[in-house]
């Protein structure tokens, strides 16, 4: 049976991939986005679908629709954007969650919350599993996002307990791939653009800090497995446990691009985590999910996408 599905943040990096996958399955999809960081170009491949609707709306305000499922993915995920308007970031996380949960309650819809590995803060446990409570600064410049997402999770569990709403919570670790913004300030997009333009690669700190990077197609596979899994509200970590230092990532991208870029170091931002890597045992056991793309495969596809975007910018 085809469903009527709302995707908040549907014009964003991950949200647009969700919209496309849902439409290919024949669903009616409502893409809700305020276009603060979302981009209509991300939807080029789905604009011709007759069962697709774009709704320009800010989820900090209620919305009244009839839907069967909700994917709540609306919130800037890049520090550049979420720190630019921290109060609005908190509102999007908290008011947005309340409004979407209210909609789910009224329509008896299943709802997924796109939470984040940032709820673990600068972790003292490594790799991070779902039972780890985190080490998060409440007064730092990243807190608007980290604490906003933590509060949103709390609201989701309370709506489940108090109102029996069918909730799903995933914690997304660093994700990359086509449709990332070239100027979003995240490490993969920064490094690729700098390498393609033969500019210095900016490494914050000494580059020894580690991250794990999941290709977007793998993530979306996990999202749908989770959404369709009965009796598993979560939380569930979704990410690639293959860990790499920032220095190693920079050198890998330089090699793949064939760039003349060199590494330069700048001061590490406040509260930047030293390491971040998911324990995905729950996803493996309960969902049968693990990433299939290795990093080089994913980076090659992402580099090709950024080459296309930079070429379009030159032409315009």
User: Which CATH number covers residue 302?
Assistant: 3.90.25.10
Residues 162, 305, single domain; the answer is no
- The yes-or-no verdict on residue 226 having pLDDT over 90 is yes
pLDDT score for 2: 92
Residues 76, 202, single domain; the answer is no
226/288 Cα distance (integer angstroms): 10
Residues 36, 107, single domain; the answer is yes
Percent of the chain with pLDDT over 70: 100
Residues 146, 264, single domain; the answer is no
Question: Structurally, how many domains does the chain consist of?
Answer: 2
Token couple for 118: 């940032």
pLDDT score for 81: 86
Tell me, what DSSP letter sits at residue 135? B
Token couple for 136: 């998060």
Percent of the chain with pLDDT over 90: 90
- The yes-or-no verdict on residue 284 having pLDDT over 90 is yes
Better pLDDT: 76 or 171 = 171
Domain annotation covers residue 285: no
Residues 206, 62, single domain; the answer is no
CA distances from 228 to 217, 235, 287 (A): 17, 14, 10
Domain annotation covers residue 48: yes
Active-site pick, 28, 120, 145, 176 = 145
Residues 48, 117, single domain; the answer is yes
Q: Is residue 159 among the annotated active site residues?
A: no
Domain annotation covers residue 286: no
Can you spell out the DSSP letters for 35-86? Answer: -SS--GGGGTTTTT-TTEEEEE--TTS------SEEEE--S--SHHHHTTSH
Radius of gyration of the chain (CA): 19
Token couple for 135: 């080490």
The rounded mean pLDDT for the chain is 96
Residues 120, 229, single domain; the answer is yes
pLDDT score for 44: 96
Parent domain of 80: 4-174+215-238
Tell me, what DSSP letter sits at residue 283? I
Q: What is the mean pLDDT of residues 195-205?
A: 95
Q: For the segment 45-98, what is each residue's pLDDT rounded down to a tens digit?
A: 999 999 999 999 999 999 999 999 999 999 988 888 888 999 999 999 999 999
């Amino acid at each position: 049976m085809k469903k009527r599905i709302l995707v908040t943040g549907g014009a964003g990096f991950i949200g647009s991939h969700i919209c496309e996958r849902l439409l290919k399955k024949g669903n009616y999809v409502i893409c809700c986005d305020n276009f603060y960081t979302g981009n209509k170009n991300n939807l080029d491949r789905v604009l011709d679908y007759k069962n697709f609707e774009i709704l320009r709306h800010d989820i900090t305000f209620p919305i009244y629709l009839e839907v069967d499922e909700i994917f709540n993915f609306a919130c800037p995920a890049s520090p550049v954007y979420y720190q630019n308007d921290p109060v609005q970031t908190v509102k999007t996380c908290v008011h947005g969650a309340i409004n979407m949960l209210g909609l789910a309650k009224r329509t008896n819809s299943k709802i997924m919350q796109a939470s984040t590995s940032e709820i673990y803060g600068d972790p003292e446990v490594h790799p991070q599993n779902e039972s780890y409570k985190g080490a998060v600064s409440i007064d730092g410049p990243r807190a608007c996002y980290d604490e906003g997402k933590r509060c949103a999770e709390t609201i989701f569990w309370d709506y489940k307990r108090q109102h029996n709403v069918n909730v799903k919570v995933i914690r997304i670790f660093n994700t990359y791939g086509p449709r990332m913004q070239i100027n979003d300030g995240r490490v993969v997009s920064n490094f690729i653009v700098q390498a393609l333009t033969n500019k210095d690669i900016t490494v914050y700190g000494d580059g020894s800090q580690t991250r794990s990077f999941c290709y977007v197609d793998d993530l979306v596979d996990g999202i749908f497995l989770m959404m369709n899994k009965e009796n598993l509200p979560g939380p569930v970590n979704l990410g690639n446990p293959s860990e790499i230092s920032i220095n190693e990532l920079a050198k890998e991208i330089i090699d793949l691009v064939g760039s003349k870029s060199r590494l330069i170091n700048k001061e590490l931002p406040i509260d930047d985590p030293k390491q971040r890597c998911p324990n995905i045992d729950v996803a493996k056991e309960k969902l049968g999910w693990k990433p299939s793309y290795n990093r080089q495969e994913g980076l090659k596809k992402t580099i090709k996408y950024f080459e296309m975007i930079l070429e379009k910018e030159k032409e315009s």
